[in-house]
Amino acid sequence: MGTADLACPSLRVLAAHAGCEIVSVLTQPDRAAGRGQSLHSSPIKQCAMELGLPVFQPVSLRNDVVQGELIRLQPALVVVVAYGLILPPQVLELPKHGCLNVHASLLPRHRGAAPIQWAILEGDTETGVTIMKMDEGLDTGAIISMEKTVIEKDDTSQLLHDRLAQLGAKLLIQSLPGYLSGEIKAKPQSQEGVTYARKITKDDGCVDWGLPAEVLQRRVQALIPWPGAFTSMPFEEKPLLKIWESSVDDVNGVPGTIMEASDERLLVACGEGALGLSVVQREGARKMPFRDFLRGCSLKAGMVLGKC
């Protein structure tokens, strides 16, 4: 069971394993997207079709007909990675070996929908992947295995996501034999250090220049590729400016004030220090180095950038 890109490496390693028969791939229904609102398949559906695997796309798992289909399939084990639907007790109890979840954090830290983004937002120095046996709680199941990785200084959510997706697939295939044989025993999660990584919204991308530059730098990196960190320029048309790359400077000034507009960067004062914007994107345009952006934009030192 999976929907997002994070699930694809795990599906591929399971499909390639000689001792594993995948009886079905469950993913969310196709969604309308883009200007034309045409239907788009999830990344895991595309992956499953490439592998020639059967795909099932229920709207909910609480439906009797859907549960009847799962009973017919008689899965020995269900693996869940970034699926996006709640598994009711009837589904959790169906497989002989239960339901295992590949979660992109070191549980119990960052339970919830956006553990990768919040690990960066919170300034964590490390994160990782946890394989857990699912229960009815939100990422509260007993831990099968866990592996750590360092969060590098230049990691964005996209870079960290890709690394954790591969790490999760590797840990899953390494853990399954011991789990299925009973050699690996699931251990309850600690009750200490619990945090929740709520879902990211577009509003999270709005830059508050009163915050410290280091905090805003993490926001830029944590919100790539979506929704991005963005600010408003003092122009009437297409005022929003998305920040793709930035750096921290220790100079100080009035928050939101442009301190420098050069070929190299746009330096903006923050609550503490300043943020140098080096790659940006205006509404409806492509992202570009600031030196290219400045040729068609009249931002100057002394102007003030605002909230979105």
Distance from C-alpha of 209 to C-alpha of 206, rounded to nearest angstrom: 10
Nearest Cα neighbor of 2 from 19, 15, 20, 18 is 15
pLDDT at 308: 77
Does residue 36 have a pLDDT over 90?
A: no
pLDDT at 32: 80
Q: How many CA atoms lie within 13 A of 210 on its CB side?
A: 1
Reported residue count of the chain is 308
Nearest-5° Cα angle at 196, 149 to 191? 85
Distance from C-alpha of 260 to C-alpha of 144, rounded to nearest angstrom: 52
Q: Where are the alpha helices (DSSP H) in the chain?
A: 8-16, 43-50, 64-73, 89-92, 115-121, 157-181, 213-222, 290-295
140: β partners: none
Residue 18, both tokens: 């000689």
Q: What is the mean pLDDT of residues 1-30?
A: 97
Q: Cα-atom radius of gyration of the chain, to the nearest Å?
A: 22
Average predicted confidence (pLDDT) for the chain: 96
Q: Predicted confidence band at 235 (pLDDT cuts at 50, 70, 90)?
A: confident
pLDDT at 237: 82
pLDDT at 234: 92
Beta strands in the chain (DSSP E): 25-26, 31-33, 38-40, 55-56, 78-80, 99-103, 111-112, 126-133, 142-150, 196-197, 229-232, 240-249, 258-261, 266-269, 274-282, 288-289
Q: With pLDDT > 70 as the criterion, what percentage of the chain qualifies?
A: 99
Does residue 37 have a pLDDT over 80?
A: no
Nearest Cα neighbor of 80 from 133, 21, 157, 136 is 133
Tell me if 113 sits within 8 A of 102, measured CB to CB: no
Nearest Cα neighbor of 30 from 41, 19, 21, 14 is 41
Residue 115, both tokens: 């553990």
pLDDT digits (tens, 9 = 90+) for 91-113: 999 999 999 999 999 999 999 99
Distance from C-alpha of 71 to C-alpha of 52, rounded to nearest angstrom: 22
Entry pTM: 0.95
Nearest Cα neighbor of 287 from 237, 206, 230 is 230
Does residue 213 have a pLDDT over 80?
A: yes
pLDDT at 256: 97
